[in-house]
Structure 1
Amino acid sequence: MNGELHVVLGATGSVGKSVIEELQARKLKIRAVERSKTVKGIETIHADLLDFDQATYAITGATHVYLCIGLPYSALIWKEQWPLIMNNVISACEKAEARLIFLDNMYLYGPAPLSVPFNEKHTRNPVSEKGKTRKIISDMLLNAHESGRVKAVIGRSADFYGPNVINSPLYISFIERMLIGKAPQSLGNTNIKHTYSYTNDNGRALVTLALDDSTYGQEWHLPVSRAMTIDEIVVEINSVMNTNFKATLIPRIILKIMGIFIPNIKEVNEMLYQSDFIYIMNDEKFRKHFPDFKVTEFEIGIREMINSFKR
C-alpha cells in the first residue's frame, strides 16, 4: 500500500464522498479532484476533465483513479461530453500508469423489459439516448483495457440512495415532499419491484474492487439491498418519519405535457421503462467474490438518509 495515491474524480459527489471515506478508513493517500469545490483536509486539485491537459495534471502520480463524476441529466450533454471525458481520463491514466475504476450505471442494458433479475451479461441494446452513451463509454474503457492501455474495472450501481443524496429518486419524489407535508409522487406503478444501491456501500465496493488485482478487465454489479416496491418504500419512510402517506401516481399524459415545458421532465420520460417493468439487478457475482462484504439493509440505509436531511 505504501506509495499508492488514490485520485477521486468527482470527489464531492454522492459516491465520490463515500469512496473518500473508505480510503480514509484504510489510511490510504488521497487526492480529490473537482471543478471548483474543495474537500476539507485533503489535497484538492481543480480540473475540468473536458480538457486533456487539466485531466493529465490532476491524475499525475496516481496509482488508482476513481471516475465518479456526474454530468447534468441531459442526453445531449452526455452525448457530447462523456466520450471526451472518458478518452481524456483513459489517456491520462495511461500516461500515469494508473489503474482506472469507473462508477457506471445500468442504462446500457436493453431492450426493455430486462431479464429478471439481470446480470452483467445482459443484452446491450439500450432504448434510451442516455443508455446509448453509457454503452459507448463502457466499451471505450473495456477496449482500452483489452488493448493494454490501462488496467480498468467497472462497478455498476443501481439507482442509489444515501445520506444527503439530493439526486436520488427516493429524495426527489418521496423524502423531499414528505418532509414538507406533501404526499410522495411516483412516476410508475407503485407495486413493481426495483433494486437500489446505498451510496456508502458503493464507495466501499469500488475501493474493494480497486484493491483486488483479479477484478480488473471485468464489469461488476455493485451490491444492492433487497428488491422493493414503491409502496413498501413509502411504508419504510413513514415508519422513520412517523407519517402516514401513500404514493400517488403521476399520469403519463401529464408527464408528457410537462416534458414539453420542463427539460428535466423530458429527460426522465425516456427512462420510464425502469418504472414500467420489474427492475431487479443481480449482484451475485460481487457477493460470491467478496463473501465478507456487508451490504446495508434498506431499513438502515433509508433511516440514515432521512436523518441526514432532518439534520
Structure 2
Amino acid sequence: MDNEIHTVLGASGAIGFAIIKALQNKNLSIRAVSKHPMQGVKWVYANLMDTVLTQKAIQGSGYVYLCVGLPYDSAIWASQWPVIMKNVINACEKSNAVLIFFDNVYMYDPYYLPSSFDENTPQYTLTKKGITRKQISDMIMDAIRQEKIKAVIGRSADFYGPFAKNSPFYISFLERMLLDKNPYFLGSPDKKHTYSYTLDNGRALVLLALDSSTYGEVWHLPTRKAITIEQIIEIFNGILKKNYKIKIIFPIERKLLSLFSKTIKEASEMNYQFEHDYIMVSDKFKNHFPDFHITPYELGIKEMIKSFCKKNTNR
C-alpha cells in the first residue's frame, strides 16, 4: 500500500502542514484536502460536513489522515465533530482506506492526571470538549471492532510548532511578544506540562500509518520531558533576545475576563490541565519506534517563532 494516495484532511492547518512535510520526505503520493487552495501539492476542496464531498475527497485513497482543526468552541465541536467523523469513517469504509486520526487527551479522567498518564488511563470527563472528543474517539474504536475500517489513533499533548496558531505557546503568548507585549498565562507557573512538537507529530503519524501492527490501537505521540511555563519563557526570551515577564491570570481574574473574552471562556473549562503537573507518557510509541528523534524544545520554539516572523514579514 506504500504507493497509494495519502489523503490529508485539514491539510492547511499546522498538523496538516507537518503531515504533508513528513510524506514529502518519504516521496509518497499526497492529496491535500481543505476549504482553501494550497500550492505545491495536489489539492482537493471538501467540506467534511457534506457526505458526498467527503466521499469524493477520500475516494481512491490508501491512507486518510484526519487532522481537522475546528474553531475552539464547545458548541461547534458538539454539532460538527460527530458528523465529520461519521462521514470520514463511511468514506474510508467505501474506499478501503486506513484512517489515521490526530486526537487530543481531553477525554481522560482529571482525577488521574496529577500523576503521569498513558493510553490506559480511565476516560471520564464532564467538560463539554472532553465529552465530544471521547464520543468521536469511541466512534472510531467501534468501527474498528465492527471491522468496518482499519484505523489508528495518535493522541497529542498540547502542541506547538510552525504556524500553530491554536498552540498555548501562541495564544496570549508569542502573539503578544511579537507586538512587544508581555505574555499572559492561565495556569500555575511552577507546574510541569507536557507539549508535543507539530513536526514530530507529523512524522509520528506517518510512521503509525505505514506500520500495520499499530492499527486498532491508541498511541500517545512522542514528547520530551514535561516543562514549566517559566522554563518556556526563558527559551522564548533567549531566542528573541528579550526579557518578557509572564502575567499570571488567576482564577478570580479568569472568571471576570471570561465575561468579555470568548477565547478565555472556552479555555477555562480545560484549565485543570495547567493547575497541577500534567505529564503525558509516550513510552509505548518510543519503545515501538526506538530510533525516533524527538525535537528539543529550543529548536522547536525557534522554528515556531521563525514561521510567524516570516508570515508577518510577508504581509
Structure 1 length normalisation: TM-score? 0.97
Q: Which residue in 1 is equivalent to 2:218?
A: 219
Distance 1:240 1:8 in 2: 32
Given that 2:112 and 2:121 are in contact with CA atoms closer than 8 Å, whether structure 1 keeps it comes out as no
Q: Which residue in 2 is equivalent to 1:16?
A: 16
Q: Which residue in 2 is equivalent to 1:231?
A: 230
Distance 1:219 1:23 in 2: 21
- Asked if 1:26 corresponds to 2:23, the answer is no
Which 5+ residue runs of structure 2 have no aligned equivalent?
311-315
The alignment yields a C-alpha RMSD, in angstroms, of 1.2
Shift of 1:87: 0.6
Which 5+ residue runs of structure 1 have no aligned equivalent?
none
Shift of 1:254: 2.1
Distance 2:11 2:223 in 1: 22
Structure 1 stretch displaced more, 14-23 or 178-187: 178-187
Distance 1:206 1:3 in 2: 17
Provide, for residues 231-255 of structure 1, a one-character-per-residue CA deviation record: whole Å limited to 9, x for no partner: 0100111111111122121122222
- Asked if 1:4 corresponds to 2:21, the answer is no
Structure 1 stretch displaced more, 157-166 or 57-66: 157-166
Shift of 1:39: 1.9
Shift of 1:111: 2.8
Q: Which residue in 2 is equivalent to 1:242?
A: 241
Distance 1:197 1:41 in 2: 26
Secondary structure at the aligned position of 1:20 is classed as helix
Provide, for residues 134-187 of structure 1, a one-character-per-residue CA deviation record: whole Å limited to 9, x for no partner: 000001001101110000000001110001222211111221212222112110
Residues 183-198 of structure 1 aligned to structure 2 (within 5 Å):
183-198=182-197
Q: Which residue in 2 is equivalent to 1:67?
A: 66
Given that 1:7 and 1:59 are in contact with CA atoms closer than 8 Å, whether structure 2 keeps it comes out as yes
Shift of 1:310: 2.4
Given that 2:222 and 2:286 are in contact with CA atoms closer than 8 Å, whether structure 1 keeps it comes out as yes
Q: Which residue in 1 is equivalent to 2:313?
A: none
Distance 2:152 2:135 in 1: 16
Secondary structure at the aligned position of 2:61 is classed as coil
- Asked if 1:167 corresponds to 2:166, the answer is yes
Note closer, same or farther for the CA distance 1:2–1:135 as it changes in structure 2 (3 Å cut). closer
Amino acid at match of 1:98: A
Distance 2:300 2:122 in 1: 31
Shift of 1:265: 1.7
Given that 1:115 and 1:122 are in contact with CA atoms closer than 8 Å, whether structure 2 keeps it comes out as no
Shift of 1:113: 5.2
Secondary structure at the aligned position of 1:63 is classed as strand
Residues 1-311 of structure 1 aligned to structure 2 (within 5 Å):
1=1, 3-35=3-35, 37-112=36-111, 114-311=113-310
Secondary structure at the aligned position of 2:169 is classed as helix
Distance 1:78 1:172 in 2: 19
Distance 1:113 1:236 in 2: 30
Shift of 1:15: 0.4
Distance 1:230 1:41 in 2: 36
Given that 1:111 and 1:127 are in contact with CA atoms closer than 8 Å, whether structure 2 keeps it comes out as no
Structure 2 length normalisation: TM-score? 0.96
Identity %: 51
Given that 2:2 and 2:210 are in contact with CA atoms closer than 8 Å, whether structure 1 keeps it comes out as no
Amino acid at match of 2:10: G
- Tell me which stretches of 4 or more aligned residues in structure 1 moved more than 4 Å: none
Shift of 1:2: 5.5
Amino acid at match of 2:202: G
Shift of 1:116: 1.9
Count, aligned residues: 310
Distance 1:29 1:178 in 2: 39
Distance 1:65 1:307 in 2: 29
Shift of 1:259: 1.6
Distance 1:2 1:131 in 2: 34
Amino acid at match of 1:156: R
Distance 1:214 1:111 in 2: 30
Given that 1:226 and 1:298 are in contact with CA atoms closer than 8 Å, whether structure 2 keeps it comes out as no
Given that 1:4 and 1:64 are in contact with CA atoms closer than 8 Å, whether structure 2 keeps it comes out as yes
Provide, for residues 82-131 of structure 1, a one-character-per-residue CA deviation record: whole Å limited to 9, x for no partner: 11110110000000000000000010111345152100000100131100
Provide, for residues 257-278 of structure 1, a one-character-per-residue CA deviation record: whole Å limited to 9, x for no partner: 2222322221111011011111
